[in-house]
A = this chain, B = another copy of it.
């Protein structure tokens, strides 16, 4: 069973039926057949080259030797094959050396690799996001020098934001960039500072490493600009174009609970006079530029979490069909039954599935919106949903992995079963690329209270789904519930907006919880509507259709109602926790 990754039936349903991939392919060189071939290739490579070292990469962590990080060679081997097949550049345009595939295709492909081995494929995600940022904001020469080798998969990329004293607080970045002249790559700087939590910060499996580094340029008196507006972005390659090694040292490796195949480093820039870097675009634009990479990484984190959740669910469902234990209620004299026949095991499986497949659907929806970003409505909805796409899979996918362990009983707590590692791996996701708290503040503050366009699009699309569901037997009550939940979200926002500005974000995390349940309930309802519209001749099996609709209804009946207490908390003005002394905790 260890070759179970994702449900092919579900991925096909989500991509082709629900999100209508063929519409995305119009006007491209690709059609359904080529997309299916691409998915087939991805599944095969994931199962044959990424999955086999999943456990080994957990057991044999990256290690520091003579100042360099050594990772498990199998990781490099798998990524070499990924490179040889051209997959690094799949969603880059052909003039940049890519394949020009829509994001929805490459994201669905990424999900297979993330299910097989998220920490190995993580290097490709960072590399792609890095190259995309350089391609968007860098000069032609910078693109040729630093983006193209990443699109080809020969060099890997990193994003260097956090510092030991400033995790999420980027305004406090202290890395200094001093001007050092100009050359064909642009304005050249010498960087000095320490960067923490750098995924892929060092490794021995790519020819070069391209660091994208946030730093501040001092004024004439040597003072650094305050806050996030003074942040600039620099390209700092490990090996310089002249072949010499840049002044970037690995100061330490973090030893993580999971996701261990991705090395995670503390990097010291400029221990010997300054690391050479070239500014991207104009000074002071660094954070805004980096947000492009962060938004891509946030959706990718959602995919990683959703994939772990889906794989855990499938492993648990298979185990529950095979493992015999106990008797049917009232049949003590009967034969032992498979544990999937116990109501509580089914409940756990349905809950896990509703989180896992709901998460995957949300992530794929966001990828579809990326493809349609030229449509202002889709762009606004993507902005709104990006923090949710990062957070719901991270938080609820982890719960799904928790349930997958529970279905396995004691076996699930041992390292002999992959569900144990899936859970440890997934625990990272609510933390990196902006914690759940950061995402919640982004959602409520920037996207809802100071935005609003995305919310209108959401309301419109929910109304369309609800309208369609009302026409379908067995979905009417569910349609009412989703409509009421979105209405409650609106009322909650009005209540929050009437509070003193300094307190509006106090319960942002509760708003995120309630809002994301409502969004995912809509996504489930919309999937059920799609199922109802599948023709009798459609390839989706009867059992798939029934399972899908049952999961949708289950989520709307039993998970969505928790949105109410979360939203009540978000709207509450009775919290006095800020008045408590810090010592009262």
Contact = CB atoms under 8 A, between A and B. Distances in A.
A547 B580 contact: yes
B558 A569 contact: yes
A543 B167 contact: no
Given A343-B507, A346-B580, A509-B344, A326 B410 contact: no
Contacts of A435: 406, 409
A341 B580 contact: no
A353 interface: yes
A167 B325 contact: yes
Contacts of A1: none
Nearest to A414: B254
B410 A582 contact: no
Interface string A562-579: 101100110010111110
A541 B502 CA distance: 30
A550 B576 contact: yes
Contacts of A168: 325-326, 409
Contacts of A171: 326-327, 332
A204 interface: no
A403 to B, nearest CB: 10
Interface string A139-180: 000000000000000000000001001111101100000000
A273 interface: no
A395 B50 CA distance: 33
User: Residue among A165, A169, A349 with the most chain B CB within 10 A?
Assistant: A169
B565 A415 contact: no
A413 B199 CA distance: 14
A413 B257 contact: yes
Contact of A344 (B332, B343, B437): B437
Interface string A316-346: 0100110011110110110010101111111
A430 interface: yes
A165 B440 CA distance: 46
A317 B585 contact: yes
Contacts of A428: 413
Interface stretch (A11-19, A81-89, A363-371, A419-427): A419-427
User: Residue among A413, A544, A578 with the most chain B CB within 10 A?
Assistant: A413
A42 B423 CA distance: 34
A13 to B, nearest CB: 14
Contacts of A317: 585
A336 to B, nearest CB: 6
Contact of A508 (B254, B344, B501): B344
A412 interface: yes
A36 interface: no
Nearest to A167: B409
A343 B503 CA distance: 9
A380 B369 CA distance: 58
Contacts of A349: 585
B431 A169 contact: no
A168 B172 CA distance: 54
A406 B431 contact: yes
A268 B424 CA distance: 31
A537 interface: no
Contacts of A23: none
Interface in A253-268: 254-257
A172 B324 CA distance: 11
A581 B169 contact: no
Interface string A470-510: 00000000000000000000000000000001110111111
Nearest to A428: B413
Contacts of A581: 543, 546
Contacts of A576: 550
Interface in A393-412: 402, 405-406, 409-410, 412
A453 to B, nearest CB: 24
B329 A505 contact: yes
A518 to B, nearest CB: 14
Nearest to A258: B413
A227 interface: yes
A321 B335 CA distance: 58
A564 B558 CA distance: 11
Contacts of A402: 427
A353 B585 contact: yes
A573 to B, nearest CB: 11
B569 A565 contact: no
B415 A255 contact: yes
B580 A557 contact: no
Contact of A338 (B167, B569, B582): B582
A561 B557 contact: no
A327 B171 CA distance: 9
Contact of A226 (B333, B441, B508): B333
A37 interface: no
A471 B340 CA distance: 50
Given A162-B410, A338-B582, A440 B344 contact: yes
5 contacts: A320-B582, A320-B585, A346-B577, A413-B427, A561-B568
Given A406-B437, A547-B584, 12 more contacts: A169-B325, A169-B336, A329-B505, A344-B437, A344-B440, A345-B437, A347-B510, A406-B430, A550-B576, A550-B584, A557-B572, A561-B568
Give the 9 A-B CB pairs with smallest separation, nearest first: A547-B584, A561-B565, A343-B506, A344-B437, A169-B326, A317-B585, A169-B325, A255-B415, A558-B569
